[in-house]
């Protein structure tokens, strides 16, 4: 994606990347993440998002990919490019640590290849370089010293050093014992690479030897006795030999590292990639991010999208943005009061698009959908161009003109306060002309303004619509929610009145504005109030619709179960009848045989056969249900309490069919029609089952929701706890808590309770059509 102007910086994309990069374990991982590039190919973008999803699953289930801090080994590889150069032991250990990370990753992904196929495609190219790793491990100890057995020569030299060192110590200890009066202290020390003893200043001539310096006070001279000079000479040479042998070993090891340069660099690229992916996964977890759907239609369906920086700062207090772009209109003009969230809305859309197209999970709902942009530009803020000697207005217009000249197909354009910074009349005209030019296929524009003429422009122009930032009329404060389809108002007079401006001044201002403008503002305000009332009713109807759908599903399930059980019982009864019939047949045969044997008369035999036939018909009759014994349709009347035997439901008769074959009953608010044969007349209304307040049970099954609206928090939480105990033992996988919107106190208390409840898997606020923020959906 081509990013025009200084859009990424304007949207503070760099700040978001800085925030996420702190989750990397390496400097190279941080650098790569900070330099994230947009992805234009859909297949590559989906692969990147899938990698983050897999890393997220690993982090949740196993604590993360086994990736720990590693160094940039390119520095070490650069040091040993000359053939005779070598790495110090410390640098070799950095390579060792790097290879240990590679080995750990290879082993991990071999065990988890099926659960993370996309990540495995990258990791399977890792070269473990086992032999090189073993060579370093067998050469250098954890302290950074070369092992004695790294070579035979080194082993011999160090053995010889130990022998000579012991000889020197033996001789010096003997001298110390004999000359203790002349010594400052009884110990052996090292000066200029020679083993010496501390001799008092006035006794320096008492012990023949070479003086290798004195203390700061001059009272102590460090003397190498002549008897140990040959041994010190020998050990000095041995140390030189040791140093040469260590260098030879390090050169040999460095040459092996140099031979695997290409594999090491390839491994480094994989590790850096995994580091960045795991940081993205951790950000996804921290922000409740998801991988939105990728669409090819160049439309946005953003559902409850959060500004990443505000979400980090404010947490759950952040107001999410929901907006659709590009489908029914390609340009949205946002109006509303100052500090109402217009600019934040622009930045939210821009930031989410940049993060998404760089392969990040973003804080939106799962059903959200984003396209792939080929170009993006944002003009936000009132920065003056000092370098080019331009005013705020000139800089603003220059940038918009640059966007128009370089716009491409599938472009997203964000403009804040279009046409501002100059005379309002001229600014409005110029803004309309610029927006008309931008209103072209393949370009989606989101613009904010305070200019009233642009509201009319958005109303009459094809593919353009108004939008407003919602406002609380009661408290005269912004709600930071975007509402598509209606223009907004600045509420300047209302806010000024609240701030104490005298009424006569406000009336004069209204007169100066003119009647038509005041009528327009009043109409907008009335329309906004009506729209908000409509939304409230829509949410209530949505909740009611969900309730009815739940009841319908419950009754249908019970009806299906009863049908199955009835068929099973009828089959069982029929089989039992056949068994009885078989027994009767045997009895009949015996009777006939006895009649014949006793030579009974023909009339007696005939009567016996007729009785047998009657008995067979009765036994072969299928098992079925009949209406209540003796009950006739004339005994039923509207208002009587009856029970459906089939559905096991009790209700009051509300209607009797003209054909007198069926009745309609009201069973706890749900009307159902049942046949006359299914009715059981009740003498008195059945007592309802004892059930928790706010929940509903039918036939012993727990409903999939509980209504806690209007209850105080303590009572609501007690009822919720009891309800969840019942729901956990039901077949519901998802249940709804209706707490209403209100002040949000009850919702907050419920969410705090759910966070601590280990019995549930997850919870979320309802989306549009589910009750929005007045409902919480729980997965159990």
pLDDT at 194: 92
Structure tokens at 269: 């690229």
The mean pLDDT value for 652-681 works out to 78
The mean pLDDT value for 720-742 works out to 83
Give residue 601's pLDDT band: very low, low, confident or very high (50, 70, 90): low
Q: Which residue has the tokens 């290849």?
A: 113
Residue 595 clears pLDDT 80, i.e. is over it: no
Give residue 684's pLDDT band: very low, low, confident or very high (50, 70, 90): very low
Dist. CA 435–CA 404, nearest whole Å: 9
Give residue 768's pLDDT band: very low, low, confident or very high (50, 70, 90): low
Give residue 419's pLDDT band: very low, low, confident or very high (50, 70, 90): confident
Dist. CA 573–CA 568, nearest whole Å: 9
What is the DSSP track for 642-679? EEETTTTEEEEEEEE-TTSSEEEEEETTEEEEEEGGGE
The H-assigned helical ranges of 5-111 are 7-10, 13-21, 27-34, 42-62, 74-79, 89-111
Dihedral (Cα; 66, 71, 72, 73), 10-degree rounding: -100
Alpha carbon of 666 to those of 14, 656, 680, 691: distances in Å? 62, 12, 15, 19
Residue 386 clears pLDDT 60, i.e. is over it: no
* pLDDT tens profile 335-350: 887 777 899 999 999 9
* CA proximity to 616, closest of 641, 588, 655: 588
**8 A C-beta contact, residue 321 and residue 483:** no
Query: E strands within 612-758?
Result: 641-644, 649-656, 662-667, 670-675, 679-681, 697-698, 701-702, 705-707, 734-738
Structure tokens at 218: 């001059």
**8 A C-beta contact, residue 767 and residue 736:** no
* CA proximity to 121, closest of 281, 284, 263, 274: 274
Who has greater pLDDT, 110 or 659?
110
Who has greater pLDDT, 543 or 287?
287
**8 A C-beta contact, residue 478 and residue 471:** yes
Q: Could you give phi then psi for residue 223, rounded to 5 degrees?
A: -110, 135
Query: Angle formed by the axes of helices 392-406 and 424-438, to 10°?
Result: 20
Q: 21-30, 567-576, 754-763: lowest mean pLDDT where?
A: 567-576
Dist. CA 699–CA 551, nearest whole Å: 12
Residue 618 clears pLDDT 70, i.e. is over it: no
pLDDT at 304: 94
SS3 1: coil
pLDDT at 548: 77
pLDDT at 584: 56
pLDDT at 230: 94
pLDDT at 690: 41
* CA proximity to 323, closest of 454, 485, 542: 485
Q: Could you give phi then psi for residue 128, rounded to 5 degrees?
A: -65, -25
Dist. CA 581–CA 626, nearest whole Å: 23
Residue 613 clears pLDDT 70, i.e. is over it: no
CB count in 10 Å sphere of residue 610: 10
Dist. CA 360–CA 347, nearest whole Å: 17
* Strand 705-707 with 734-738, pairing: parallel
Structure tokens at 684: 């008195």
Q: 11-20, 22-31, 493-502: lowest mean pLDDT where?
A: 493-502
Q: 254-258, 415-419, 597-601, 719-723: lowest mean pLDDT where?
A: 597-601
pLDDT at 703: 80
DSSP label of 473: T
Q: Is the dihedral of CA 371, 411, 299, 539 positive or negative?
A: positive
Could you tell me the maximum CA-CA distance found in the chain, to the nearest angstrom?
161
Structure tokens at 700: 């012993």
The mean pLDDT value for 743-758 works out to 83
pLDDT at 694: 46
SS3 779: strand
Q: Could you give phi then psi for residue 333, rounded to 5 degrees?
A: -105, 115
CB count in 10 Å sphere of residue 710: 11
pLDDT at 686: 42
Structure tokens at 10: 């304007």
Q: Which residue has the tokens 């984003």?
A: 370
* pLDDT tens profile 492-536: 777 788 778 899 998 888 787 765 454 455 556 566 666 667 767
The mean pLDDT value for 175-203 works out to 88
For the chain, the average pLDDT equals 84
Residue 220: in which H helix or E strand, if any? strand 220-225
Give residue 682's pLDDT band: very low, low, confident or very high (50, 70, 90): confident
Dist. CA 692–CA 699, nearest whole Å: 15
Structure tokens at 604: 């007696």
Structure tokens at 241: 């030999």
* pLDDT tens profile 38-61: 999 999 999 999 999 999 999 999
Count Cβ neighbours within 10 Å for each residue of 459-490 and write b for 16 or more, e otherwise: eebeebbbbbbbbeeeeeebbbbbbbebbbbb
Residue 128 clears pLDDT 50, i.e. is over it: yes
**8 A C-beta contact, residue 749 and residue 712:** no
> What percentage of the chain reaches a pLDDT higher than 70?
83
Question: pTM of the entire structure?
Answer: 0.65
188 Cβ contact list (under 8 Å, min separation 6): 169, 172, 173, 176, 195, 196, 197
> What percentage of the chain reaches a pLDDT higher than 90?
49
Question: How would you write 321-356 as a 3-class SS string?
Answer: EEEEECCCCCEEEEECCCCCCHHHHHHHHHHHHHHH
Q: Which residue has the tokens 């524009």?
A: 445
SS3 70: coil
Dist. CA 54–CA 60, nearest whole Å: 10
| Ordered domains of the chain (ranges, CATH) | 2-148+253-286 (1.10.1420.10), 152-233 (1.10.1420), 293-513 (3.40.50.300), 625-688 (2.30.30), 697-779 (3.30.1370.110)
Q: How many CA atoms lie within 13 A of 777 on its CB side?
A: 15
DSSP bridge partners of 371: 295
CB count in 10 Å sphere of residue 343: 16
pLDDT at 17: 97
* pLDDT tens profile 527-563: 666 666 776 777 778 777 777 777 777 777 777 777 7
């Amino acid at each position: 994606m081509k990013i025009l102007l200084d859009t990424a910086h304007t949207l503070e994309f760099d700040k978001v990347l800085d925030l996420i990069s702190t989750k990397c374990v390496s400097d190279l991982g941080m650098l790569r993440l900070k330099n994230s590039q947009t992805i234009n190919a859909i297949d590559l973008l989906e692969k990147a998002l899938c990698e983050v999803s897999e890393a997220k699953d690993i982090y949740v289930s196993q604590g993360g990919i086994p990736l720990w801090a590693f160094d940039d080994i390119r520095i070490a590889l650069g040091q040993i490019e000359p053939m005779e150069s070598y790495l110090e032991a410390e640098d070799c250990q950095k390579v060792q640590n790097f290879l240990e990370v590679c080995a750990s990753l290879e082993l991990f992904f071999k065990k988890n290849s099926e659960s993370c196929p996309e990540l495995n495609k990258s990791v399977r190219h890792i070269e473990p370089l086992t032999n090189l790793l073993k060579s370093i491990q067998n050469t250098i100890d954890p302290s950074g010293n070369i092992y004695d057995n790294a070579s035979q020569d080194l082993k011999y030299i160090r053995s010889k050093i130990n022998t000579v060192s012991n000889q020197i110590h033996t001789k010096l200890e003997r001298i110390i014992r004999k000359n203790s009066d002349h010594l400052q202290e009884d110990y052996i020390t090292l000066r200029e690479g020679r083993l010496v003893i501390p001799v008092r200043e006035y006794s320096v001539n008492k012990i023949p030897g070479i003086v290798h310096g004195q203390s700061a006070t001059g009272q102590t001279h460090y003397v190498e006795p002549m008897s140990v000079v040959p041994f010190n000479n020998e050990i000095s040479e041995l140390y030189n030999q040791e140093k040469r042998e260590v260098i030879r070993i390090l050169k040999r090891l460095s040459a092996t590292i140099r031979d695997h340069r290409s594999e090491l660099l390839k491994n480094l690229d994989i590790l850096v990639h995994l580091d960045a992916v795991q940081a993205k996964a951790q950000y996804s977890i921290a922000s409740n991010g998801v991988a939105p759907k990728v669409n090819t239609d160049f439309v946005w369906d953003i559902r409850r999208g959060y500004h990443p920086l505000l979400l980090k700062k404010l947490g759950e207090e952040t107001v999410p943005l929901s907006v659709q772009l590009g489908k029914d209109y390609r340009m949205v003009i946002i109006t509303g009061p100052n500090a109402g969230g217009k600019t934040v809305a622009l930045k939210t859309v821009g930031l989410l698009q940049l993060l998404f197209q760089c392969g990040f999970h973003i804080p939106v709902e799962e059903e959200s959908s984003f396209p792939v942009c080929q170009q993006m530009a944002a003009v936000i803020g009132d920065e003056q161009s000092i370098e080019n000697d331009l005013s705020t207005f000139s800089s603003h217009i220059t940038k918009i003109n640059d966007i128009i000249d370089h716009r491409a197909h599938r472009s997203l354009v964000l403009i804040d306060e279009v046409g501002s910074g100059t005379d309002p009349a001229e600014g409005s005209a110029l803004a309309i002309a610029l927006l008309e030019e931008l209103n072209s296929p393949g370009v989606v524009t989101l613009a904010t303004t305070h200019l009233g003429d642009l509201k009319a422009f958005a109303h009459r122009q094809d593919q353009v619509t108004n939008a407003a930032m919602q406002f609380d009329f009661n408290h005269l404060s912004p709600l930071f929610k975007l509402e598509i389809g209606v223009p907004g108002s600045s509420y300047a007079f209302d806010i000024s009145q609240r701030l104490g401006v005298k009424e006569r001044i406000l009336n004069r201002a209204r007169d100066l504005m003119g009647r038509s403008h005041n009528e327009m503002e009043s109409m907008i305000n009335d329309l906004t109030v009506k729209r908000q009332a409509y939304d409230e009713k829509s949410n209530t109807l949505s909740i009611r619709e969900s309730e009815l759908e739940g009841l319908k599903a419950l009754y249908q399930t019970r009806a299906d179960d009863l049908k199955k059980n009835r068929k099973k019982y009828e089959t069982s009864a029929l089989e039992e009848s056949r068994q009885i019939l078989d027994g009767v047949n045997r009895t009949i045969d015996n009777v006939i045989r006895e009649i014949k044997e006793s030579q009974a008369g023909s009339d007696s035999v005939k009567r016996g056969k007729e009785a047998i036939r009657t008995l067979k018909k009765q036994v072969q009759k299928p098992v079925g249900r009949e209406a209540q014994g003796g009950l006739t349709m004339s005994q039923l009347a509207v208002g009587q309490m009856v029970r459906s035997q089939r559905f096991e439901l009790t209700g009051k008769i509300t209607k009797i069919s003209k054909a007198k074959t069926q009745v309609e009953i009201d069973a706890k608010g749900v009307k159902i029609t049942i046949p006359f044969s299914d009715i059981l007349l009740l003498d008195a209304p059945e007592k309802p089952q004892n059930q928790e307040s706010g929940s509903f049970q039918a036939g012993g099954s727990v409903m999939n929701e509980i209504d806690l609206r209007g209850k105080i928090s303590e009572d609501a939480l007690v009822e919720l706890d009891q309800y969840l105990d019942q729901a956990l033992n039901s077949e519901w996988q998802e249940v709804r808590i209706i707490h209403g919107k209100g002040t949000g106190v009850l919702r907050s208390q419920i969410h705090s309770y759910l966070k601590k409840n280990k019995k549930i898997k997850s919870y979320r606020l309802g989306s549009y059509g589910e009750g929005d923020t007045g409902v919480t959906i729980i997965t159990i």
